[in-house]
């Protein structure tokens, strides 16, 4: 099985490399069994990601760059408040990003913590 878990939409990139896939969940993809090593290497290079060949399985995790993650985070925070992440400069947003937490989950957890501190 060839699988990719991404933190953003990569369908255009996969179409460019003529990689056939089935999208199983938001930004989770199962690739056609005919996908080659060369295609995976080109895809990994284009997405600036690493991939592991495990037996007959290829698994790639694509991580969005930090600046794009922060934009998505701000959008999530603004959905719920009139604030952005810059209003909370002491919070460890980079730590959240490096831990692999999605912008939506990070925003929800952060705002929950703030709400509990105010009560």
Q: pLDDT tens digit string along 84-118?
A: 999 987 889 999 988 878 888 899 999 998 888 87
pLDDT higher at 10 or 8:
10
| Phi, psi for 105 (deg, rounded to 5) | -65, -40
Stretch 10-28: mean pLDDT, rounded? Answer: 78
Question: How far is residue 81's CA from residue 26's CA, in Å, rounded to a whole number?
Answer: 25
Q: Which helix (H) or strand (E) holds 117?
A: helix 103-118
pTM of the model: 0.55
Q: Which residues of 3-42 are buried (b: 16+ CB within 10 A; e: fewer)?
A: bbebbeebeeebeeeebebeeeeebebebeeebeeebbee
Name the band, by pLDDT with cuts 50, 70 and 90, for residue 44.
confident
**Residue 19: is its pLDDT beyond 60?**
yes
Stretch 57-67: mean pLDDT, rounded? Answer: 70
**pLDDT of 55:** 43
Contact 3, 57 (CB under 8 A): yes
């Amino acid at each position: 099985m060839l699988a990719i878990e991404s933190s953003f939409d990569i369908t255009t990139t996969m179409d460019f490399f003529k990689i056939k896939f089935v999208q199983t969940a938001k930004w989770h993809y199962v690739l056609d069994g005919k996908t080659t090593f060369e295609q995976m290497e080109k895809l990994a290079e284009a997405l600036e990601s690493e991939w592991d060949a495990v037996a007959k399985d290829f698994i790639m995790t694509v991580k969005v760059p930090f600046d794009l993650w922060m934009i998505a985070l701000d959008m999530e925070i603004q959905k719920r408040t009139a604030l952005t992440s810059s209003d909370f400069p002491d919070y460890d947003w980079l730590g959240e990003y490096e831990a692999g937490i999605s912008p939506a989950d990070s925003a929800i957890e952060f705002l929950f913590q703030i709400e509990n501190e105010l009560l």
